[in-house]
Amino acid sequence: MDYLNHIATLYQINSPCGLPEADIAAAEQRLGIRFPAVLREYLLALGGSEAVNQSFNRLLPLDKMDFDGDYLVLEEENQGVFLCGIAKADLAQDDPPVHIAFDIADANQWQPHLPDTRALLLQLACTNAVMGGLRYCANIMDEESVSSQAVQFVRQNRTEIVELRQENQRFYTDGFHEIILLCFAEGGNVGGVFIGTAEQNRFDTLLELFGWDNWLYTSYEDEDDEE
């Protein structure tokens, strides 16, 4: 999985936006560690992009990265609902697995989350893409408004990003020019749809696919407010 190029394609990044090597080294010295190779690679390539890293969920700035017990915390959910991090014992691996904590007051709440660090960084980029990191985004938040035919079309005509599969959600893409996130309700039906893209034509196609009147929010509303 060429995750760096996938993220650059999704966000249309054509110029360097990495963090300085000296800043990364200073953070490592402060923490008394060396970052895993994949995390270092990412920080040097894309760590300076606010749209990718801080537009909704947040990759912590270098000066905020720290240990919570035996875990190096890397990411914080938008409202602080969860943290993602790497076990101290795994830091010597090039691409270590990622753990998640939903109760940050209880170190025992850390549990396995994603198979590797690449998946965490790609998940951050894809989540932020549908939550405002890209210019064109929209969402449907209730099961009754979700077209089953549109969901079937997505499953048959888009590629699932299987590395990011969770029990209650699936990410789909078309060559990383768009992201479609399907979230499942308790009964197993799709209860939420989130889309994001940098390309207006793709955005309009997806809006039409699910039905223009079914969207709870589209970023066009923000453009109307500015006029």
Per-residue pLDDT at 103 exceeds 80? no
pLDDT tens column, 144-169: 999 999 999 999 999 999 999 999 99
Per-residue pLDDT at 227 exceeds 60? no
Q: Which domains does the chain have, with CATH numbers?
A: 3-126 (3.40.1580.10), 134-225 (3.30.310)
Whole-angstrom Cα distance, residue 7 to residue 21?
21
What pLDDT band is residue 93 in, cutting at 50, 70 and 90?
very high
Residue 220: exposed, middle, or buried by beta-carbon count in 10 A (0-12, 13-18, 19+)? middle
Query: What residues contact residue 166 under an 8 Å CB cut-off, 6+ apart?
Result: none
pLDDT tens column, 26-58: 999 999 999 999 999 999 999 999 999 999 999
Q: What does the pLDDT read at residue 223?
A: 79
Report the Cα 145 to chain-centroid distance in Å: 24
Residue 36 φ/ψ, nearest 5 degrees: -55, 150
Report the Cα 41 to chain-centroid distance in Å: 17
pLDDT tens column, 181-222: 999 998 889 999 999 999 999 999 999 999 999 999 999 998
Q: What does the pLDDT read at residue 204?
A: 99
pLDDT over 90, % of the chain:
92
What pLDDT band is residue 106 in, cutting at 50, 70 and 90?
low
Q: What does the pLDDT read at residue 108?
A: 63
